C-alpha cells in the first residue's frame, strides 16, 4: 500500500523578501493537498471522483503575486477574527479596541493585513497513514488593533481515507478575541463553471440575517420557508438565485452565517454536505465551531484566472467557513470568542469525501 508523502518546492518571494514554499501532501487514497506558507493557503485539494479521476476541487491562482495583490482570501487561513466586526471596534474588559475598517466601514477577516497576508513557519509531519503540515505564527500585541501576543498553530492533515483536517490552537498573554477559519473555495465538479447545480444541505438550527453591509441584525432566525432552509439537500440554483428574497439581493447570493447547535463543541459534528452535479463527488464538513459562513463567491467577476488560465466566475465556488458568529465581540448573546491567558482556543474542521451513496 502506498505510504503518505510530503515534499516541497519554492513558490516565490514576497516584496519584503520572505521566501514562500509550496508543500505537497499525498494520501494513500490518491488524494493530495498543496499548501502555501504565504497565508497558509490551501492551493489545491485533489480528490478522486466516482470513476477514480482525481481533480483539484478548490479554486486557486497561478502565482504568488496574484495571491498577494488580488486574491479575495482564496484558500487562506483567516485571523485574528474571521468575518466582520461592526465599525472595526469592540470593547473587552472595559477597554475599546479598534481594527482598521476594510469592508464597507467594518473590519473584515482581521483587517487589511490579516493572517492571510503573513508567511507562516512550516514543519512537516508523518504519522502512520497521515501526512501533515504544521504552520505557526505569532501575532504581536496590537497587531491590527487586537490586544495580546497571540501564538497560533494551524495543522493541515491528510489521512489515508482522503479526509483533510484543519486543526487550530491559539494562546494569548492578554485577554483578546479570536476566530480562525479556512477560506477555501470549493467546486466539486472541478470544471471551471459555476456551482449552481451543486446541492447543499446543512445541519444548522438557524441563520443570521444581515443588514446591507453584512452585519447581523440580531439573534438567529428560523430559516423555515425561506431560501436559507437547507435542512434537506437543495440545488443552489433554486436558492441562491431566488429573486424575491431581500437577504439574497443584499449579498448577491449567500454570504451568511448558519448557527450550529450550542457553542464550540468538544468533538466535530457534521455542519454541511455538498454534492457535485450527478453525484460524482460528495464533501461533508465536520467541525467543532459554533457557526458556518456560507459564501457563494458573489464577488468573483472573471478578472482573476486559475493556473490553467480559466476565469474565476461569479458563483464559481462555495465557501464553507467554520467560525464564530460575525460581530460576536460586540454581541454578548452570541457564543463568546474571548480568549484569556492560561487557556487555549482550539478548533477542528474536517473535510470528508464519503462515497456518494453514503447518506
Q: Which of 24, 97, 183, 198 is catalytic?
A: 183
What is d(CA 51, CA 107) in angstroms, rounded to the nearest whole number? 44
CB neighbour class for 12 (10 Å; exposed up to 12, middle 13-18, buried from 19): middle
Q: Residue 262: how many CB atoms within 10 A of its CB?
A: 10
Alpha-carbon radius of gyration of the chain:
19
Q: Which of 97, 321, 324, 350 is catalytic?
A: 321
Give me the residues paired with residue 33 across strands. 25, 45
Cα 276–chain centre separation = 19
Alpha helices in the chain (DSSP H): 64-70, 236-240, 246-251
What does DSSP say about strands 164-172 and 345-352: parallel, antiparallel, or unpaired?
antiparallel
The yes-or-no answer on residue 183 being catalytic is: yes
What is the sign, positive or negative, of the torsion defined by CA atoms of 134, 140, 143, 148? positive
Give me the residues paired with residue 38 across strands. 119
- Provide the grid cell at 305: 484566472
Helix and strand numbers (H, E) in the chain are: 3, 27
What is d(CA 312, CA 304) in angstroms, rounded to the nearest whole number? 6
What is d(CA 211, CA 105) in angstroms, rounded to the nearest whole number? 13
The yes-or-no answer on residue 8 being catalytic is: no
Cis bond upstream, residue 80 (ω within 30): yes
188-215 as b/e, with b when 16 or more CB fall inside 10 Å? Answer: bbbebebbbebbbbbbbebbbbbeeebb
Q: Mind telling me the catalytic residues?
A: 183, 321
Amino acid at each position: 500500500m502506498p505510504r503518505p508523502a510530503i515534499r516541497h518546492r519554492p513558490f516565490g518571494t514576497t516584496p519584503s523578501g520572505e521566501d514562500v514554499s509550496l508543500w505537497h501532501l499525498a494520501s494513500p487514497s490518491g488524494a493530495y493537498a498543496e499548501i502555501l506558507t504565504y497565508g497558509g493557503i490551501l492551493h489545491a485539494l485533489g480528490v478522486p471522483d466516482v470513476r477514480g479521476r482525481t481533480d483539484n476541487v478548490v479554486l486557486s491562482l497561478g502565482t504568488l503575486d496574484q495571491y498577494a495583490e488580488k486574491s479575495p482570501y482564496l484558500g487562506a487561513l483567516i485571523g485574528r477574527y474571521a468575518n466582520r466586526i461592526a465599525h472595526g471596534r469592540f470593547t473587552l474588559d472595559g477597554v475599546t479596541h479598534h481594527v482598521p475598517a476594510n469592508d464597507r466601514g467594518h473590519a473584515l477577516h482581521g483587517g487589511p493585513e490579516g493572517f492571510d497576508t503573513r508567511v507562516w513557519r512550516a514543519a512537516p509531519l508523518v504519522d502512520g497513514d497521515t501526512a501533515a503540515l504544521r504552520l505557526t505564527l505569532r501575532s504581536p500585541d496590537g497587531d491590527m488593533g487586537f490586544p495580546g501576543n497571540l501564538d497560533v498553530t494551524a495543522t493541515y492533515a491528510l489521512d489515508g481515507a482522503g479526509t483533510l483536517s484543519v486543526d487550530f490552537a491559539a494562546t494569548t498573554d492578554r485577554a483578546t478575541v479570536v476566530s480562525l477559519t479556512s477560506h477555501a473555495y470549493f467546486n466539486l465538479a472541478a470544471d471551471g463553471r459555476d456551482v449552481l447545480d451543486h446541492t447543499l444541505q446543512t445541519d444548522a438550527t438557524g441563520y443570521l440575517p444581515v443588514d446591507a453591509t453584512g452585519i447581523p441584525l440580531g439573534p438567529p432566525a428560523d430559516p423555515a420557508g425561506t431560501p436559507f432552509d437547507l435542512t434537506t439537500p437543495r440545488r443552489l440554483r433554486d436558492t441562491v438565485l431566488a429573486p424575491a428574497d431581500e437577504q439574497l439581493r443584499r449579498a448577491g447570493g449567500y454570504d451568511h452565517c448558519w448557527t450550529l447547535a450550542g457553542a464550540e463543541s468538544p468533538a466535530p459534528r457534521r455542519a454541511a454536505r455538498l454534492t457535485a452535479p450527478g453525484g460524482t463527488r460528495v464533501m461533508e464538513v465536520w467541525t467543532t465551531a459554533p457557526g458556518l459562513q456560507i459564501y457563494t463567491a458573489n464577488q468573483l467577476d472573471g478578472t482573476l484566472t486559475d493556473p490553467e488560465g480559466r476565469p474565476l466566475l461569479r458563483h464559481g465556488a462555495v465557501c464553507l467557513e467554520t467560525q464564530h458568529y460575525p460581530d460576536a465581540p460586540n454581541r454578548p448573546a452570541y457564543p463568546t470568542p474571548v480568549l484569556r491567558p492560561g487557556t487555549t482556543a482550539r478548533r477542528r474542521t474536517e473535510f470528508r469525501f464519503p462515497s456518494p451513496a453514503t447518506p
